Amino acid sequence: MSARIFSLVALWLLVGLALYFGKIHGAIALLILFSTAAHYEFCTLLSRSGGRPATARSVLLGTATLLWIAWSVLTNVTPPPGGWSIVVLPGLLAGILTLALLLISPAKLTKLYTTAPTALSWLYIPCSVAPLILLATERWKHGAFGDPSGVLLVLWIVAIVKFADCGAFLVGTAIGKHKLAPTISPAKTWEGCLGALATAAATGALLAWAFSHFQSELGWTLTKFTPTHAALFAVLLAALGIPSDLVESVFKRKAGVKDSGKTIPGIGGAFDLLDSLLLCSPVAYGVLHFFLLK
């Protein structure tokens, strides 16, 4: 537990420093860094599960995709037909397929990903992180260069999902009795899920209030994002984060490992850090882009 707490504090300190000194570029650099590491770890899990991914090729393609998206948006390159929102579609479709197979049969989920591991690992990791980069750069596309609201929205999403994880862990450990998915992740309980939803709602509302309360200091311009709206949306993201976390558990169980890596003490690897964000990211982009950022 102490190692986990230390890592969480260190990670949030790293995020704070990156945003303070690097602003938009620091946020993008962190997203691409963690995506690349998580992508590599996911390919490793697929290899141990019976797949034969071209790991180097897939990871390089994934990183290049995210770099291209970030560079294109920040330099005002003409967007593809349909706008930059079309970039979200691959990750959204991969997420829907992954979620459907998780609910139908975890065995079919691992079979699919080990059958075409190179392409599907690219779809599942970097294409699911891409919407966060698009959100971070959102205000740039509206001509408001220097407006940090997009970066703060990404920070809000990450905080919701990760604090929901903490809420699930604490409540599940304290009073969890009814198993959520005993064959996939025996430690997860329905009580922990309720703890995740409650923690997400409280965190979402509190952060939205803080952004509005300190809007002049933070440069926050999205005043329509009220604490009530934020709490409701946070519950949706936390609900999506639960199966997103279970997806990784399926692959770790198939590979016979506890964590995706050992780079983050008490947490595991980068994939362990991003797992619950992957199904949330495309949905968050769609909701925020079409209902808040217009």
8 Å CB contact between 68 and 60: no
Give the pLDDT confidence score for residue 216 in this predicted structure.
83
Which residue in this structure is represented by tokens 């141990």? 48
- Confidence at residue 293, expressed as pLDDT on a 0 to 100 scale: 67
146 band by pLDDT with thresholds 50, 70 and 90: low
Is pLDDT of 143 > 50? no
Region of poorest pLDDT, from 22-36, 136-150, 233-247: 136-150
200-242 pLDDT per residue, tens: 999 999 999 999 998 888 878 888 889 999 999 999 999 999 9
Across 247-253, average pLDDT: 91
pLDDT at residue 6, rounded to an integer: 82
Q: Who wins on pLDDT, 225 or 32?
A: 32
Residue 180's CB is within 10 A of a number of other CB atoms, namely: 20
276 pLDDT above the threshold of 80: yes
Q: Using an 8 Å Cβ cutoff, are 147 and 187 in contact?
A: no
Residues present in the chain in total: 294
Asked if residue 200 lies in contact with residue 207, where contact means CB atoms within 8 angstroms, the answer is: no
How large is the average pLDDT for residues 78-102?
85
Beta-bridged to residue 240, according to DSSP, are none
Q: pLDDT (tens digit, 9 = 90+) per residue, 154-210?
A: 999 999 999 999 999 899 989 988 898 888 888 889 999 999 999 999 999 999 999
Query: Looking at residue 262, what is its pLDDT?
Result: 83
**Numbers of helices and strands, H then E, in the chain:** 13, 2
Report pLDDT for 233. Answer: 94
Q: Comparing C-alpha atoms, which of 260, 255, 258 is closest to residue 271?
A: 260
Q: Measured between alpha carbons, how far is residue 139 from residues 19, 95, 133, 222 in Å?
A: 16, 26, 12, 10
Q: Is the pLDDT of residue 294 over 80?
A: no
The full DSSP string for 89-112 is: HHHHHHHHHHHHHHHH-HHHHHHH
pLDDT tens for each residue of 113-127:
989 999 899 999 999
pTM assigned to the model: 0.92
For helices 117-124 and 88-104, give the axis angle rounded to 10 degrees. 110
Question: Which secondary-structure segment (H or E) carries 180?
Answer: strand 179-181
Task: Please determine, for residue 97, whether its predicted confidence score (pLDDT) is greater than 50.
Answer: yes
Over the stretch 45-63, which tens digit does the pLDDT of each residue have?
Answer: 999 988 899 999 999 999 9
Position 290 confidence tier, pLDDT thresholds 50, 70, 90: confident
pLDDT at 131: 93
Q: What is the DSSP letter of 116?
A: S
- Average pLDDT of the chain is 88
Q: What is the C-alpha separation between 153 and 70, in angstroms, rounded?
A: 16
Model pLDDT, residue 18: 84
Given this model, what pLDDT does residue 277 score? 93
Q: Where are the domains of the chain?
A: 2-291
